[in-house]
Amino acid sequence: SHDMMGIHPYSGLEDPYSLYPHSLRNIDELCASIVRSHRETSQYRVEELQALRWKLFSREEIQTYQTKSVDEMWQHCAIRLTDAVQFVVEFAKHIPGFRMLSQNDQIALLKTGSMEVVLVRMSRFFNTENNTVFFDGKFAGTEVFKSLACGDLIAAVFDFAHGMCALKLTEQQIALFSALVLINADRPCLEDRGKVQRVQRSVELGLTHILHRDNQESLMHKLYQRMAVLRSLCSLHMEKLRWFSQRYPLTAHSLFPPLYKELFA
Ligand code: CLR
C-alpha cells in the first residue's frame, strides 16, 4: 500500500535492485518509511506505556503465574511472543527493499531476525526503575516467569533490555536499528546475498544519517555491540526451545502457534 501511494523511495528507478540511495532526499525518505512502519507496528506508543508504568501484578497474580505448569506457561509465553513476532513481520514488509527479496530470503531473514527485533522492541516495554516488562496487560518482574524453568534466559533477556534502555534511543533510532537487525546479509541460508547486502547498505546509511543528524555518531559502535549480544540471546532461546520440545513434545507440537513453530522449530 505504501508503494501504491508513491512513498516507496526507489519505485521510479529503472533497475529495481539498485537500492542504494543516491541522494540525501532518498535517505530521508528511506528513514521516514522505516520510522512510519515502526510506528504503525509497535503496538503501544511510548506515552501510553509511560502512563501504565506503575501498573504492577499483585502478589496473588504473581502466584497464579508461578503455580502454572511448565508447559502451560511455555504455551502462554509462546502465544505472546508470536503476537509480537507478527507485528515484526508487518514491520519488515514495509522496509524499502524487503519485498523485492525472494520469498526464501525474506523467510530466512525473519527466521533469524524476528526474535532479535522483538527483544530490541522489549526495551520500549521495560521499566528500568523496577526491572519489569509489560506482559499480559501489566508490568512483570522476572519472578513472574519462574515456572518456565529457564531463569538464565529470562535474566539475560531482562539484562539486555536494561542495557538497551541505558542507550536512551529515540523512536527513530529504534526503528532504524530494528531494520538493520533484520536486514543482515550474514544470515545463513540466503539465496541472493548480494541483493540483501544492497538493502542492508541502504539501511546502514539511514541509521548513520539519523545518528549524524542527532549528533550521536558514537552510538553506532554500541549498537553493533548490542547486535552481538542479541545473537547469543537468540541461540539461548533456541537451546531452551529444543530442551522444552524434548520434554514436552505434545505441547510443542500441537499447542504452540504455527508461526512460532515455523520460525523457530
Ligand atoms: C516485546 C515487545 C513486543 C511486545 C511484547 C510481547 C511479548 C513479550 C515481549 C514484548 C518481551 C519478552 C516477553 C514476551 C512474552 C514472554 C517473553 C516478556 C514486551 C519472556 C521473556 C519469556 C520468554 C519465554 C520463551 C522462552 C518462550 O512489541
Cell of 124: 520500549
**Cα three-residue angle 35-27-179, rounded to 5 degrees:** 40
Q: How far is the CA of 119 from the centre of ligand 1 (A)?
A: 8
Dist CA 220 CA 240 (whole Å):
31
Q: Is the CB of 74 under 6 A from ligand 1?
A: yes
Q: Is the CB of 252 under 6 A from ligand 1?
A: no
| pLDDT at res. 17 | 45
3-state secondary structure of 192: coil
Q: Does position 222 have pLDDT exceeding 90, yes or no?
A: yes
Q: Does position 2 have pLDDT exceeding 50, yes or no?
A: no
Closest approach atom of ligand 1 to CA 43: 28
Cell of 48: 501510553
Residues 96-127 have pLDDT tens digits of: 999 999 999 999 999 999 999 999 999 999 99
3-state secondary structure of 162: helix
Q: Does position 149 have pLDDT exceeding 60, yes or no?
A: yes
87-90 long-range contacts (CB < 8 A, ≥24 apart) are 87/41, 87/42, 87/43, 88/41, 88/114, 88/117, 88/118, 88/121, 88/178, 88/182, 89/114, 90/37, 90/40, 90/41
Dist CA 241 CA 74 (whole Å):
9
Q: Is the CB of 146 under 6 A from ligand 1?
A: no
Contact 112, 188 (CB under 8 A): yes
Closest Cα to atom 5 of ligand 1: 84
Closest approach atom of ligand 1 to CA 81: 7
Closest Cα to atom 21 of ligand 1: 154
Ranges 47-61, 177-191, 246-260: which has the least confidence: 246-260
Closest Cα to atom 23 of ligand 1: 77
Q: How far is the CA of 31 from the centre of ligand 1 (A)?
A: 27
3-state secondary structure of 56: strand
Dist CA 184 CA 191 (whole Å):
13
| pLDDT at res. 6 | 34
| pLDDT at res. 263 | 87
| pLDDT at res. 265 | 74
Closest Cα to atom 4 of ligand 1: 84
Q: How far is the CA of 242 from the centre of ligand 1 (A)?
A: 18
Tell me phi and psi for residue 37, to 5 degrees. -65, -40
Closest approach atom of ligand 1 to CA 42: 28
Contact 85, 256 (CB under 8 A): no
Dist CA 260 CA 256 (whole Å):
7
**Overall average pLDDT of the 63-85 stretch:** 97
Given phi > 0 = left and psi -120 to 50 = alpha, else beta, which region is 137? Answer: left
Q: Does position 181 have pLDDT exceeding 70, yes or no?
A: yes
Q: How far is CA 47 from CA 53, 85, 220, 236, in A?
A: 10, 22, 26, 32
Name the average pLDDT for the chain: 91
Contact 240, 150 (CB under 8 A): yes
The best mutation among 87, 116, 118, 143 to test binding of ligand 1, ranked by most ligand atoms within 8 Å of the C-beta, falls on 118
Closest Cα to atom 10 of ligand 1: 122
Closest approach atom of ligand 1 to CA 124: 2
Ranges 8-12, 48-52, 96-100: which has the least confidence: 8-12
Dist CA 12 CA 22 (whole Å):
13
Strand partners of residue 138: 135
